[in-house]
Amino acid sequence: MLRFKSMTANTAGRDMAVGDIHGHFQRLQAALELIAFDPSVDRLFSVGDLVDRGPASADVLHWLAQPWFHAVQGNHEALAITHVRGGQLDLDMYRAAGGSWFLDLAPSEQLDLVEHFEALPIAMQIPTPLGLIGLLHADSPFPDWQQLRAGLEVGDQNVQEVCQWSRRRLKTHDARPVEGLRALLVGHTPVPEHRVLGNVWHLDTGGWSNGFFSLLDIATLKIATPTFR
Ligand SMILES: [Mn+2]
């Protein structure tokens, strides 16, 4: 499994990032149309949590098959992996978190999804003209991107867990930057509006719930869809 992925620069079009999707691919599609997203040159980066809660989680395979769509693994993808690979999981908690659609699939369909989820990196980086952009689901356990990369590359489970589950930075209002990056893009904890702490951008503005999808142009660090519902 490739836990850390380095992308090449996009010299043809725009690179956009989006927060948690949670099965709301139709709303996401509408948001992309609003910014005239062009899949022939533009790319879309997801901070993970593609599935659970929304009406169309099973569409995730269609989205992951698009050459312009790139996602890191969120904690909800990790829950599916844990379930199929025989790890410890509170099934009532998983159902309460929106996992019923997955638990009720045939084992072969679960396995197919999990193999796709396992192929997703935990963190990725994307070069832009003004600097390197990092992407992961929840938070960086380190104040330094190279340290994070090294931790993931040696398969450190604690590092992976913080990357996918931690809400510490928002809870403690930690505004220290992650060195080695122009910006780190994360989701996981819903915020009423995108929130920047140090150089960490919290992008889960509840497009899957009562909020809207914030599409961030990662080269300019400008939100293209501030109020889309
Ligand atoms: Mn999450």
**Mean pLDDT on 93-102:** 98
Edge-to-edge strand list for the sheet holding 15-18: 69-71, 43-46, 15-18, 216-217, 222-223
What is the 138 CA–ligand 1 centroid distance (Å)? 7
**Mean pLDDT on 11-36:** 97
State pTM to two decimals. 0.96
Q: Which pair of structure tokens corresponds to residue 178? A: 């992650």
Question: Which residues have CB under 8 Å from 28's CB, separation 6+?
Answer: 18, 21, 207, 213
What is the 83 CA–ligand 1 centroid distance (Å)? 16
Residue-range domain boundaries for the chain: 4-73+122-130+152-183+205-223
pLDDT confidence of residue 229: 47
Q: Are 50 and 79 in contact (CB under 8 A)?
A: no
**E strand or H helix that includes residue 102:** helix 100-103
Identity of residue 54: G
Residues, CB-to-ion distance under 5 Å, ligand 1: 49, 74-75, 188
Burial status of residue 108 (CB atoms within 10 A of its CB: 0-12, 13-18, 19 or more): exposed
Q: Please, which pLDDT band fits residue 68 given cuts at 50, 70 and 90?
A: very high
Q: Please, which pLDDT band fits residue 227 given cuts at 50, 70 and 90?
A: low
Q: Are 205 and 191 in contact (CB under 8 A)?
A: yes
**Mean pLDDT on 67-89:** 97
Which of 76, 83, 137, 188 is the catalytic position? 76
Active site residue 76: yes
What is the 177 CA–ligand 1 centroid distance (Å)? 21
